[in-house]
Chains A and B, each alone.
Chain A
Amino acid sequence: MRVIATVAAWLDARLQIEAPVLGVVQHPVPSRTASWAYVFGSAAITAFALQVLTGILLALLYVPSAAEAWNSLQALNHDVAFGWFIRALHGWGSNFMLAIVLLHMVQVVLFGAYKFPRELTWIVGVLLLLVTLGMAFTGQVLRFDQDAYWGLGIGASIASRVPIIGSKVVALMLGGPIIAGATLSRFFALHVFVVPGLLISFVAVHVLLVLNLGINEWPMPGRIVRRDTYMREYHDLTHAHGVPFVPGAVGKDLVFSAFIVAAIAACAYVLGPFGPAGQPDPTIIQTAPKPDYFFLWLYALLSFLPPAAETPILLIAPPLIIVGLLVLPFVAGEGEKSWRRRPVAVLTILLVAVTLGTLTHLGTHTPWSPVMDAWSGAPVPTAQLTRRSALERRGALVFQSKQCRNCHSLGNSGGQRGPALDAVAVRLTEDQLTRQVIQGDGNMPAYGKNLTPAEATALVAFLETLHPRDELPARDASRTP
């Protein structure tokens, strides 16, 4: 022990950091902030540290070349001792980090922590959210598989809609005219150098601000933030009733951070690494690309926006949202901090959470996508074929062979792009069915050119049989006596 003390004293005589470090770790914090609600910031840093560690480990073997990346990921998964585990840690770590960052943000909003004097802390926090999303997107590209390839295509298609300079933005994003070697190289540089550099700088400023301004106190209903009195009140709170951060408040941070690392490791061990999915070969088109979960909400949104509104919303909404977040502390910089007195904040968070949750759920199940193999893979339910005439059965065959099933379900199997047809005869008369099939309408293509009159007649005859036993098919009132 004496040797350690001697070495420490020798070092500190030169570095002279003991006093400032002690000042930082023992700075007083309001006693009620030693709470489980205040552990997300430190947990985000812990998750990021794990990402840096596992990222460096992966970079030892990953080859950032369009020709080799996929093979090097396969080698990591199968040929290297615990390569799969390091990949899994990095993948699950990114999911956890994003989730913790979002929880941290929710806590900050609910506790009014962005109010005076912590406006800049909030602004840097918003930048941190953006660069974290940037890490997530660029990281998804480095898992250079089919999803990454076509995901880049989606990104390029969105970028290309920028007026006038769209094609130049795409070229700069892809590094050339197509998604290829230069694309992966630049996303590697972004993911490994540029964005982490920004992230580390922003974290440093963020933590510096937290230390200099002090952690946000536990909000009490009725304790109003005013610019002229807040600093004095906070000083009283920390110095009269505060505790030193170490050891007063750090315990819960330590426990939660360890819990997060344990949870990441457990997910990684049990559930394994993400992909890579199929090879990034653009000539293999039998694929249904999908983004990772944190962009599923956007993927879902893109199928629901009206086509004409899509481009304006894609280009205008993100800047508006970001500006809205950035100006929040200037619009609501004073007043109540407690969530009990801030219904708008609580409702906004609930609204955003429900919206993102719903869109993510829809993005997981993609009811708008045709089921590409339903026509050959999902048989017509037997009940809908028994006691049918030859013409109606012929119609069932047409129904399958013309891929109707890819968009329309029968007996809960098949696509959900169009309405389920189990009871279509109740909704549409024979003439309406014929017209809908031949001319299409709403969101349905016209099949007139691809059905012979005999096929169309058979198909409509089959559709006419699709009604519940106790409900009669719709009839044209003008024709039935």
Chain B
Amino acid sequence: MPVQMNRRDLLVKIGLLFNGVVGVLIGMPIVRYLLSPLARAAHGESGGAWLSLGSTDDYPSGETRLATFRNPVVTPTDGETANVACWVRRIDAENFQVFAVNCAHLGCPVRWFPQSGLFMCPCHGGAYYSDGRRASGPPERGLFEYPYRVDGRQLLIKAGEMPTPGTSAARNDGRSPCA
């Protein structure tokens, strides 16, 4: 039996098809737009530029001090949220450790207590030793570390994204100072 199709049915089918095509056409840019944070984050993750934390003279040997930097991936409306803090521990003349302030448990800012040589987290009581190792509490690992290098008298770190248990910062234990 030959397929019967009048002009109205055909027009409905063409109309539906046309709408589908137009939908896909504008859908693709919309999906790309929605996924754009992935590209920005990837930039922060891998591109993550080398940033200066100032002169190494600012960090006396044997001490741990708070340093701040401006995140390399920013937008014009970030304001002060693009400023990031980190703990710089100078072990001796050449060796440093640069820790993220974010607790490895849930990201709250840890505070350094030089007298007891511990980092303590105010949220759920995680504690870390001076070298960033886990001391007690709910964190499953030590503090996140930024890779660093010393260029002349400048202390540089590689940073760009907020470290969380699932991001690349978690894989980068900072154990090998890439000087």
Q: Which residues of chain B come closer than 8 Å to A67, judged between CB atoms?
A: 77-81
Q: Is the CB of B125 within 8 A of A370?
A: yes
Q: Which residues of chain B come closer than 8 Å to A172, judged between CB atoms?
A: 34-35, 37-38
Q: Is the CB of B116 within 8 A of A178?
A: no
Q: Which single residue of chain B is at the shortest CB-CB distance from A63?
A: B77
Q: Which residues of chain B come closer than 8 Å to A175, judged between CB atoms?
A: 37, 40
Q: Is the CB of B75 within 8 A of A153?
A: no
- A182's contact among B37, B45, B127, B166, by CB below 8 Å, is which? B37
Q: Which single residue of chain B is at the shortest CB-CB distance from A144?
A: B81
Q: How far is the CB of A117 from chain B (nearest CB, A)?
A: 35
- B77's contact among A65, A156, A167, by CB below 8 Å, is which? A65
Q: Which residues of chain B come closer than 8 Å to A103, judged between CB atoms?
A: none
Q: Which single residue of chain A is at the shortest CB-CB distance from B122?
A: A288
Residues of A64-101 whose CB lies within 8 A of B: 65-68
Tally of chain A residues near chain B (CB < 8 A): 71
Q: Which single residue of chain B is at the shortest CB-CB distance from A176?
A: B40
Residues of B14-41 whose CB lies within 8 A of A: 34-35, 37-38, 40-41
Q: Which residues of chain A come closer than 8 Å to B105, judged between CB atoms?
A: 157, 302
Task: Provide the A303-345 mask, 1 if CB < 8 A to any CB of B, else 0.
Answer: 1010110110000000000000000000000000000000000
From B5-13, B54-62, B133-141, the one touching the partner chain is: B133-141
Q: Which residues of chain A come closer than 8 Å to B108, judged between CB atoms?
A: 150, 153-154, 288-289
CA distance A440 to B110 in the complex (A): 20
Q: Is the CB of B79 within 8 A of A68?
A: yes
CB of A268 within 8 Å of the partner chain: no
Q: Is the CB of A445 within 8 A of B165?
A: no
Residues of B78-119 whose CB lies within 8 A of A: 78-85, 101-102, 105-111, 113, 115-118
Q: Is the CB of A303 within 8 A of B66?
A: no
Q: Is the CB of A160 within 8 A of B165?
A: yes
CB of A105 within 8 Å of the partner chain: no
Q: Is the CB of B116 within 8 A of A402?
A: yes
Can you list the 8 inter-chain pairs with the closest CB atoms, starting with the nearest?
A177-B44, A67-B79, A166-B166, A160-B166, A171-B41, A445-B135, A177-B161, A153-B107
Chain A residues proximal to chain B, CB less than 8 Å = 65-68, 149-150, 153-154, 156-162, 166-172, 174-183, 185, 279-283, 285-289, 299, 302-303, 305, 307-308, 310-311, 368-370, 372, 375, 401-404, 406-407, 417, 440, 443-447, 449-450
Chain B residues proximal to chain A, CB less than 8 Å = 34-35, 37-38, 40-45, 66, 68, 71, 73-85, 101-102, 105-111, 113, 115-118, 120-125, 127, 129-130, 135-140, 160-162, 164-168
With A153-B102, A157-B102, A160-B165 known, 4 other A-B pairs at CB within 8 A are: A166-B164, A285-B111, A307-B138, A440-B136
